[in-house]
Amino acid sequence: MKENKMLRIFRVFLIAVICFMCLIPFYVLLVLSLNAPSRVFYEGNIFVPTFTWSNYRDAWVKSRVGQAMINSAIITFGTLSLTIILGGMAGYAIARRNTAYNKFVFSLLIGCMMIPGIIITVPLYTLMRKIGAVNTLWGMILLCSALAMPSAVFIFTTFVRALPVEMDEAAEMDGCTGFDTFWKIIFPILKPATASFVILNGFGVWNNYAQAAFFLQSRDKQNVPQAMSVFFQQFGGAKWHLMAATAVIAIVPVIIIFLIFQRQFIEGLTEGAVKG
């Protein structure tokens, strides 16, 4: 009994140490963002900033991160909405219709998850130019949706397979069509799967730089990683307080989204582990 108690204490201590180490970079970033421009970081008390709140105002204006955050929000919301709707319906059809064609499509999508998106950038750029989607937010939404669709289908198929078929049969007896069964019965139950997909893929879409560098070329269409890259290159390490403030502003929406969906995400992982 004493040994188990000591083991639990050691685990808690180890978790606390790991969390502390993970928080150190964020604290350093926060201190840098609040330091006065004239202050050298290693002089004085390095753990306490000078609380120069005007750094955030200057960073917001000079980096144009506000417009970039709007662009990233539109791209992320559009991508997640499209992939959740189409991926959810595709996952339901594949899970409930165990045909050879559906098995082939599912295997093909799983295979697509193994191909890095950067490899197909050149043919994608040719296709995007032909349809006039280069340097447009809707084109970026379609591109990110295509890259995220295999993951969405995989997640929703796995969760739907864990649900009893009797739910569909009961809905059919009540006069529901397959479309009605999915949206009224199955989809509301897939909230943990949806939250898992939002967290796993939403951050990647928000922080997408590889494709955005090719397909979003004008300044008013840039997303957050592009705007930060241009801003950092402009100052070249000369103004750490502004660069740190810009980074803090950029990660705030990501933290808020994670805090909103973390409970559903953990429930989704737990449910998938138990039922799988």
Domain of residue 245, residue span = 63-275
pLDDT, residue 39, reads 66
Percentage of the chain beyond pLDDT 70 is: 89
pLDDT digits (tens, 9 = 90+) for 26-58: 888 888 888 887 765 556 566 777 788 888 888
pLDDT digits (tens, 9 = 90+) for 120-173: 888 888 888 899 988 999 999 999 999 899 999 999 998 898 888 888 888 888
Instruction: Quote the CA–CA distance of 187 and 88 in Å, as a whole number.
Output: 8
CA-to-CA dists, residue 133 to 70, 137, 151, 171, 227, angstroms: 19, 8, 23, 41, 20
First to last CA, the chain: 33
Query: Does the residue 36 lie in any domain?
Result: yes
216 and 193 housed in the same domain: yes
pLDDT, residue 210, reads 83
Is the pLDDT at 92 greater than 80? The verdict is yes
- Domain of residue 271, CATH code: 1.10.3720.10
84 and 178 housed in the same domain: yes
188 and 264 housed in the same domain: yes
**String of DSSP letters for the chain:** -HHHHHHHHHHHHHHHHHHHHHHHHHHHHHHHHHS-TT--TTSS-TTS----THHHHHHHHHH-HHHHHHHHHHHHHHHHHHHHHHHHHHHHHHHH---HHHHHHHHHHHHHTTS-GGGGHHHHHHHHHHTT-TT-HHHHHHHHHHHHHHHHHHHHHHHHHTS-THHHHHHHHTT--HHHIIIIIIHHHTHHHHHHHHHHHHHHHHT--TTHHHH--SGGG--HHHHHHHHHHHHTTS-HHHHHHHHHHHHHHHHHHHHHHHHHHHHHHHHHHHH-
What six digits make up the tokens of 165? 């078929």
Query: Does the residue 82 lie in any domain?
Result: yes
What six digits make up the tokens of 138? 């809707």
> Considering the entire predicted model, what is its pTM?
0.82
Is the pLDDT at 96 greater than 60? The verdict is yes
- Of the candidates 79, 196, 197, 193, the one whose C-alpha atom is nearest the C-alpha of residue 146 is 79
96 and 199 housed in the same domain: yes
**Band of the pLDDT at 59, cuts 50, 70, 90?**
confident
7 and 85 housed in the same domain: no
238 and 127 housed in the same domain: yes
Mind spelling out the 3-state secondary structure of 227-267?
A: HHHHHHHHHCCCCHHHHHHHHHHHHHHHHHHHHHHHHHHHH
Is the pLDDT at 98 greater than 50? The verdict is yes
Residues 6+ apart with CB under 8 A from 35: 41, 49, 50, 52, 55, 240, 241
pLDDT, residue 44, reads 58
Is the pLDDT at 267 greater than 80? The verdict is no
**Band of the pLDDT at 274, cuts 50, 70, 90?**
very low
